Each structure stands twice: as structure tokens, then as C-alpha cells.
Chain A
Amino acid sequence: MIASCPKCGARYRIERSRLRPEGARVRCSRCEVVFRVCPPPQQPAGERSEAPTSAPPEPPAAQQQAAPPEVVIADSDVALGSATANTLVAWGLRPIVVHDGVDAILAVQRTLPAIVILDAALPKMFGFQVCELMKRNESLRSIRVVLVGAIHHRDRYRRAPSDLYGADVYVERQELPEALRPILQELGLLAGAREKTMPPPAAPPPVEPPPPPAAVAPEGRPPESEPAAVAAPPEPAPAPAQEAPSRDDSLAEQVAAAERLARIIVSDVVLYNEEKFAAAVRSGNVVEALRAELQEGRAHFQQRIDARVRESKDFLADELLRVARTRGSS
């Protein structure tokens, strides 16, 4: 599997068989940040309670000897933060208390805790922003987030946690710290807790579909598998027929818009991959060489351009070839 550094984005190939179910800590050789890599969830959930790894599972006694799990508590209220931390210490955990959103992100990046308890209204950076950023980052996404909101907005915040900025669990301030006990128990972080797992982490905020995984790894780190072909989303039903002249005009406008968007996407791809593009122009295989780099652009293109227009030709490949011809002739 491929893991990427949450700080600098460097990507590493990790042997899945060497990962324990709870993950492993990895130090980035480029920026030296330590981050946790967790194995991807097993497909048939519920059939097997433990991941089939080659490493033998640790006996429960050995797990209890390990250092207590770290919990980041980010609370703007110093007194409440300390009170929560004292309770967690009594429960056998190791809390790290911070009081603003910036320190929260730094603490999460540095320690990769088992769980983060985030006050929604943190200074410097709101707790829900911290949560959203974590859930958009593939190395921090697996860390469970408890979002703590105010009592005054009971109605407004009473929604499913996964709908609320991607947090895994939501509690109200008045319920702290006792409301954390069942959550930590379910995660297996409290002594004597039942081995039970929480629901899988929430998906990142549903703003738009996540970009497909980059298929090309840095030099020397080949991708684990072949990039998947871009699957066309279900085509929407064709629009009802309009008057012929206006439909022609509209189609021409849409084609022009598609060509414009293709120029912008290709311009971005070429700018961010200058060396690779130049090498591909020399070897005459730009479309194949930049296939992975174009994938995110294709996803965006599909979202914005009507299927009828997209079917007429491959706008992105055509534009890439046009730019390559221009560069090749200059």
C-alpha cells in the first residue's frame, strides 16, 4: 500500500503484511515527521474480527504493558481542558491538552493520537475546521474525532456526526467528561474495555467526490497497482428537447466552455509537471505519460461538462496533444 506524509506529501510504499491492525508509526525521510499508517479496512466486515496479517497478534497482556494511548484535547477553556485531562489520566490514558486550533493541528501531526477531542469553537482555527482538514488528509483521516459543541445550539447541532464536518462522534460540553467513557470504551482505549470497534471513520466532507488516487509514485517507488481506468459516472437522462436553433447555440457554447476548461486543466497539469511533460514530448507519448496526472482533471471535467458534450471527443487528450505540438515545434 502507499502512504503519504501528512506534512510534505512524500509517498512511501509500505508492505501491508508488516502492519498490525492498529497501524504503525513511520518517520518521513524527507521532513522527519512521524506519522501513523493504518491498514485499510477489511472488505467483509464482521466476518473476521482480526486482520489476517503475517505478524502474530500481540497477546492482551503485552498490549497492556504498552504506553498508554495518547489523546489530544483541544479546548479553549483552560479549566475544562484540565478537568477532562485529569479524568483521562485517571482512566489510564495520556492526554495532551492544547487551547487553540493551530496547536491542535500541530499536536495531531506530531503525536498521531488515538483520538482527538475538539472543542468546536477553538480560537485561531475552529475545531470543525481542524476536523475537516484532518478528514481530508489521508494520513490523519483514521484518527477518531470527537467534536464538542455548545449546549445552546442543541437543535442546530443535533445531526449525524458524519454530516457534521466529518467528525466520528459528537458530544455537548455539559456532557464532558463522562460522555467520553463509552466512546473510549468502544475504541478499546479504556482498561477492561470490550473489544468492540466503532463505526468506520466518516468519509471526508461530501463537498465533491475525492480525487482518484495518484497512480504514479515518485521515482523508485512504483505504484502498487495499475491505475484504474476512469470510470464514467452514470449518465444523466438527456435533457428534454428544446427548440432546434437554441439547442445548437447552446451546444456550441457548451463545447466552447469544455474547450476552455480543458485548456485550463491541461495548463495546470503541464505547469506542475514541467519536466515530465518535456520528457514525454521528446519521446512522443504525452497522453500516456501524463495519464495519472490528468485523472484528477478528468474527474473535475466530468463534473462540470455535460455528458453529451464530453462524448463528442476527448477534450483533455486533444488539448494536451495540441500543447505538446506547440512545444515540440518551438
Chain B
Amino acid sequence: MSFINYSSREINCKIVYYGPGLCGKTTNLQYIYSKTNPDVKGKMISLATETERTLFFDFLPLALGQIRGFKTRFHLYTVPGQVFYDASRKLILKGVDGVVFVADSQVERMEANLESMDNLKTNLAEQGYDLTKVPLVIQHNKRDLPNAAPLDEMRRMLNPRANPDFEAAATVGRGVFETLKSVAREVLRDLKQMGR
């Protein structure tokens, strides 16, 4: 549900980074924030409760062009990943336009990946979204770790519909912008289709 600001002629799109705890969602956002031109990005906001944290920032990529004379502004969010912070995840998913699912490639986190993907599907459905229709990109993060599961196996478990996916090592920036560009492309395509 993108928000259109007619006075500034901007379409605001919300992209949520989803995934299990400590999978690298915040690392993705921090890397994007550090590498984005200060002139086109907003402020990074961190909202913390006693134990969980939400990060948010917005930026306006100028190179992605316009839709019917409107610029597109992207708002990036992360959700708290621990399984028990579901209320926050539901809240942050409201009005989402695109999702990046950050999977932790470590073998011992496969179950947490699957739980988080199921939870994403459930929480989207509660708001009337269908996971198969929402722009979704999957990032297989932590590929640089020695205990990373084989990519084929991760794809089989987490990406049966062959959504765009990328290998990443977010701490060094590998795959971070490829993922973001891909989800932005998917969101824009979705918007253009809705406009027809």
C-alpha cells in the first residue's frame, strides 16, 4: 500500500527486511545507509523497547526514474527477529510494498529460517496480503561462514517459487545492494501494474 504525496509528487514505498534473529537485517540497513548519498537519504531512526529494536530510514533513489511524473521514495524497515516479538513484526508489516527475507545460511539456523518464513506468510495473510503476490526477494546471508548450508538446499526450503534470490555477506556489503535493487525493481513493477 504505497502512499502518494501529491504536494511533493512522490510515491512512498515501504520495504521491510524480515528474517530470524541475528540473520543480518540490521547489518543490511546499516550498510545501505552508510553507502547512500547523504543528499538523498533521510535520518536513520532506531526505536528500542527494553529488549527489542526497530530500525527505520528512508531514501529517495534518483536513478530509478519516475512513474507518471512521480518520484519514488523508499522507506526501509527491519523487524525484531526473535520468534517471541511477533506483535512488533505485525505492526511493522502494515502497509508493506515489498519484503526482503534475509535468511541465515548457518545450518543450525535453518529451523529459525523456516519459522520466520511461515511467520511472514501468516502475518501478511492477517493483513490481507498473499505472500505469493507481494514483491519478495530472498537473501541468503552469511555465505562466508564455514558452517553455511548448501545454497541448493536453502533454495529448496525457502524459495520454492523461485523468487529473485541472492547470496550475501552483509558485513562486507556483498550482495546487499543487489538485493535492494532487485526488491525495488519488483516493487516498481508491481506499482506500474496496479496503475494500469
Contact = CB atoms under 8 A, between A and B. Distances in A.
B46 A8 contact: yes
Interface in A208-223: 208, 210-211, 213-214
A8 B48 contact: yes
A305 interface: no
A133 B84 contact: no
Contacts of B40: none
Interface in B107-159: 108-109, 111-112, 115
Contacts of B67: none
B58 A124 contact: yes
B122 to A, nearest CB: 11
B91 interface: yes
Interface residues of A, number: 42
A296 interface: yes
Contacts of A272: 21-22, 82
B43 to A, nearest CB: 6
A267 B49 contact: no
A265 B84 contact: yes
Interface string A186-206: 000000000000000000010
A214 B84 CA distance: 13
Interface residues of B, number: 41
A263 B86 contact: no
B84 A211 contact: yes
B90 A207 contact: yes
Interface in B74-101: 75, 81-88, 90-91, 94-95
A112 B146 CA distance: 47
A268 B10 CA distance: 39
B83 A265 contact: yes
A137 interface: yes
A121 B12 CA distance: 12
Contact of A214 (B12, B51, B81, B95): B51
B163 interface: no
Nearest to B22: A271
Contacts of B47: 6-7, 105, 133, 137
A207 B87 contact: yes
A264 B87 CA distance: 17
Contacts of A265: 83-84
Contact of A268 (B56, B82, B91): B82
A261 B116 CA distance: 11
B22 A106 contact: no
A92 interface: no
Contact of A264 (B48, B51, B75, B83): B83
Interface in B29-47: 42-43, 45-47
| Residue among A5, A8, A208, A210 with the highest chain B CB neighbour number at 10 A | A208
A94 interface: no
A260 B81 CA distance: 17
B66 interface: no
Contacts of B58: 102, 124
B93 to A, nearest CB: 11
Interface of B: 3, 5, 7-8, 10, 12, 20-22, 42-43, 45-51, 53-54, 56, 58, 73, 75, 81-88, 90-91, 94-95, 108-109, 111-112, 115
Interface of A: 4-9, 11, 76, 102, 105-106, 121, 123-126, 129, 132-133, 136-138, 205, 207-208, 210-211, 213-214, 260-261, 263-265, 267-268, 271-272, 296-297, 299-300
13 contacts: A7-B46, A8-B46, A121-B3, A123-B12, A136-B87, A136-B91, A207-B91, A214-B51, A264-B112, A265-B84, A268-B83, A268-B112, A300-B83
